[in-house]
Structure 1
Amino acid sequence: MPDRYGRGERDVNPPLEIEGVPDDADSLALVVDDSDAVEPAGRIWVHWLVWNVPPETTTIPEDWEAAGAVEGENDFGGVGYGGPSPPDAEHTYRFKAYALDAVFDLEAGASADDLGAAMDGHVTAQTQLTGTYPP
């Protein structure tokens, strides 16, 4: 991933293209996390949670304002995107997109656990891409 998306740089989300969303999807969710953080941080580190993304969305531009969607709390303690900042070595970041058969009544700042519980039984399709970022 380019430096500008890192926490110590511009700290803005990278652009993403979305395609192949099932016609019956009511919303989309996006989870960005770092499973390589388990060793230094003791858990998978959440960088971005977004839900209630309109299913017709095809592009999430750089530095997206999440219009029409809701953002959750990242593990830096803020709401919205928190860029990569691996403390020990290059880490792999997972960008996971979910098509859902529901729209959720979760307030902004909800946790990854809250979103996961809401999504349980509502995922109709999912995909993932990864990017790496050095310390």
Structure 2
Amino acid sequence: MLENSCPQNSVEGMTDSGRSGYSGPCPPYGTHRYFFKLFALNTTLDLDTSVEAADIEKEIEENILEKAQLVGLYRRQ
């Protein structure tokens, strides 16, 4: 996969900012935790760009082979 590209047939959903794609953290002042979740599935999902994160998690729940989570701390300078 090339940098700044998506795999073929992939779909990017909307972010909290109302746009698709990754835009990075933009917290208020103070240290905040960011959770990045990775799921290995035994199927592909048929989703469109209007899907929300909670709906995705419900959709994949029965098809998870493995999962991992990374928690990162970020503080606005």
1:80 pairs with 9, 18, 21, which one?
Answer: 21
| Correspondence for 2:34 | 93
Structure 2 unaligned residues grouped into runs of 5+ = none
Structure 1 unaligned residues grouped into runs of 5+ = 1-56
| Correspondence for 2:5 | 65
Q: Secondary structure at the match of 1:86?
A: coil
Runs of 4+ in structure 1 off by over 3 angstroms are none
Give deviations 1:25-76, integer Å, cap 9, x for gaps: xxxxxxxxxxxxxxxxxxxxxxxxxxxxxxxx7xx84xx2213221111111
1:108 positional shift: 2.1
The percent identity for this pair of structures is 33
1:116 pairs with 26, 35, 57, which one?
Answer: 57
- Distance, in Å, in 1 between the alignment partners of 2:72 and 2:61 is 26
TM-score of the superposed pair, with normalisation by structure 1: 0.50
1:129 positional shift: 1.6
TM-score of the superposed pair, with normalisation by structure 2: 0.81
Give the count of matched residue pairs.
Answer: 75
